[in-house]
Amino acid sequence: MQILIGRLIVLALIIVLNVSQFIHIGLYLVALLGFLAVLPFLVTRSLRFNARMSSYRNVRLDFVGRVSQAIWPVIVLPILVVLSLYTTTPFLERAFKRFVANNHRYGGKAFHFDVKIGKLYKPFLIVAGLTIVAFIIIGFLLTSIAQVFARALVENNPFSIGFIITIAAIYVVAFLIFIPLAVVYGAMVRNIYFSNTVFDGQHQFASTLRPFKLLGIALTNMVAILLTFGLMIPWARVRWARYLASCTAVVANGDLEEFHHELQSSEGVVSAEYLDGGGFDVGIGV
């Protein structure tokens, strides 16, 4: 029920936002500002819900981030990134990851993430370079479309085979370039994220994702989903999660069994906080 309520709230906001733009531009701007105003609240509540619905060895996680803390990484920085033509994306990545990781708790113990910005710029520059190449290729194809379409109009046949093939080529190129770039970039950032996260000031995380192996899983999952009209979605999600889990580890600095016994004494407190705090999931993928 909590998940349903959260999804309905977001759905209502999206409907209002989209309908308002067809009524009046002023109403649309008011709706957009309203949506931006509640977005930090929705993100914070979603993170808290997901954390409190997750547990390890019967000890629940928790998220203690405040709505005011979410304004910078959720509202302000994304606007600045757009104004900078996305050249400051790594700063947004770092700020949001700090907000998420540093406000999570497990048995009252804190997580901590921080990294030098140069490490995040490395994958960004790689993907940015490949994106520029992709835009050049798509630009060439768009030029071909214009030529084919002009020729088709002269022939009084705007839906000629050549035009349809060119349009299909655009979609194929976009599929083969932009989706893989997003997956590869996400894998590289995740490795940096986990490898620079520490729990309780001593236990180090590690992520050893191989970007191109993850890309292979993503593409084959997509093909399986398309060929089965969505029936293979559960299989694809489990396959994806299994690979992520197999590449994620904790490098313990000390005896984890002793640490676990210490956490068990706080289990009742964490559970009570969840029952008092409530929460709902809005389905924001973070």
Average pLDDT, the chain: 82
45-82 pLDDT per residue, tens:
889 988 988 888 888 899 999 999 999 999 999 999 99
Task: Please indicate, yes or no, whether residues 94 and 125 belong to a single structural domain of this protein.
Answer: no
196-220 pLDDT per residue, tens:
999 988 899 999 999 999 999 999 9
**Alpha-carbon separation of residue 213 from 107, 175, 232, 251 (angstroms):** 34, 17, 20, 23
Task: Please indicate, yes or no, whether residues 124 and 95 belong to a single structural domain of this protein.
Answer: no
Task: Please indicate, yes or no, whether residues 89 and 27 belong to a single structural domain of this protein.
Answer: yes
Task: Please indicate, yes or no, whether residues 69 and 127 belong to a single structural domain of this protein.
Answer: no
Task: Please indicate, yes or no, whether residues 125 and 51 belong to a single structural domain of this protein.
Answer: no
pLDDT for residue 35 = 85
181-190 pLDDT per residue, tens:
889 999 999 9
In sequence order, what DSSP letters do the residues of the chain get, joined into one string? -HHHHHHHHHHHHHHHHHHHHHH-HHHHHHHHHHHHHHHHHHHHHHHHHHHHT-EETTEEEEE---HHHHHIIIIIHHHHHHHTTTTTHHHHHHHHHHHHHHTEEETTEEEEE---HHHHHHHHHHHHHHHHHHHHHHHHHHHHHHHHHHHHHHTT-TT-HHHHHHHHHHHHHHHHHHHHHHHHHHHHHHHHHHHTEEETTTEEEEE---HHHHHHHHHHHHHHHHHTTTTTHHHHHHHHHHHHHHTEEEE-SS-HHHHHHHHHTTHHHHHHHHHHH---------
Residue 99 lies in a domain: yes
Task: Choose one of 193, 223, 240: the last residue of a domain.
Answer: 193
Residue 281 lies in a domain: no
Task: Please indicate, yes or no, whether residues 29 and 92 belong to a single structural domain of this protein.
Answer: yes
- Indicate whether 146 pLDDT > 80: no
pTM: 0.77
Spatial separation of the C-alpha atoms in residues 279 and 45, rounded to whole Å: 6
Task: Please indicate, yes or no, whether residues 60 and 149 belong to a single structural domain of this protein.
Answer: no
Residue 21 lies in a domain: yes
Spatial separation of the C-alpha atoms in residues 36 and 276, rounded to whole Å: 28
Task: Please indicate, yes or no, whether residues 95 and 119 belong to a single structural domain of this protein.
Answer: no
Task: Please indicate, yes or no, whether residues 1 and 99 belong to a single structural domain of this protein.
Answer: yes
Task: Please indicate, yes or no, whether residues 99 and 124 belong to a single structural domain of this protein.
Answer: no
Domain span at residue 136?
115-193
**Per the structure, how many domains does the chain have?**
2
Higher pLDDT among residues 100 and 283, named by residue: 100
Task: Please indicate, yes or no, whether residues 97 and 4 belong to a single structural domain of this protein.
Answer: yes
Residue 4 lies in a domain: yes
